[in-house]
Amino acid sequence: MIGCLACDLTAGRVNLPSGEILRTDLWAVEHCVGPLGIGTLVLKPLRHCIGLWDLTDAEAGELGPLTRMMVTATKSLTDADQVFSSLWSFSGGEPGHIHYVLQPVTKAQRDIIGKSGPFIQTAMFDADETLDPEAVGQFCDRARSWLSAHRRD
Ligand SMILES: [Zn+2]
């Protein structure tokens, strides 16, 4: 859908400098463009789905294995002691293209922020620290290499 950031990124209408990390026939994985830290990924259906109820059986069937594979990659490539998986959808106050945010979180990060759970994400959005594009690109390269070595189809 034109005007949907998730669709525009997937279709190349909006530039994603770090490129896709993975694309299946049904799902795409990209680095998050928001201020949620290096290594935070977005897993989204290629179709413009605004709720989990929109997923086909095939899309739902890929979701679990893809989530497990990408959080395993993230855990392997960062010093996170947990990787959050949270479903996001709202865009401009309305249900939008669903996407899972897969976010590595460390104890050090929790100690610095002084909060846990969703409050970490809130604090990071409040801080609004722009990610270093070079660091994002390096992480994406490492993630693609990890997938080349570990992905089982
Ligand atoms: Zn969309």
Over the chain (153 residues), the average pLDDT of each successive run of 10 is 92 92 98 94 97 97 97 96 94 91 93 87 93 96 97 77
For residues 29 and 9, give the distance between their C-alpha atoms in angstroms, rounded to a whole number.
Answer: 11
pLDDT of amino acid 152: 77
**Distance of CA 5 from the midpoint of ligand 1 (Å):** 7
**Distance of CA 6 from the midpoint of ligand 1 (Å):** 5
Place of tokens 């570990």: 150
**Distance of CA 89 from the midpoint of ligand 1 (Å):** 10
**Distance of CA 149 from the midpoint of ligand 1 (Å):** 30
Look at residues 95, 71, 84 and name the one whose alpha carbon lies nearest to residue 118: 84
pLDDT of amino acid 118: 87
pLDDT of amino acid 49: 97
Query: Burial code of 128-150, b = ≥16 C-beta within 10 A, e = fewer?
Result: eeebeeeebeebbebbbebeeee
In the chain, where the domains are located? 5-128
pLDDT of amino acid 123: 93
Enter the pTM of the model. Answer: 0.94
Q: Which two tokens stand for residue 136?
A: 């994002």
Give me the half-sphere count of Cα atoms (radius 13 Å) on the Cβ side of residue 79: 5
For domain 5-128, is the CATH number 3.40.50.1220? no
pLDDT of amino acid 151: 87
57-77 and 133-150 helices cross at what angle (nearest 10)?
Answer: 110
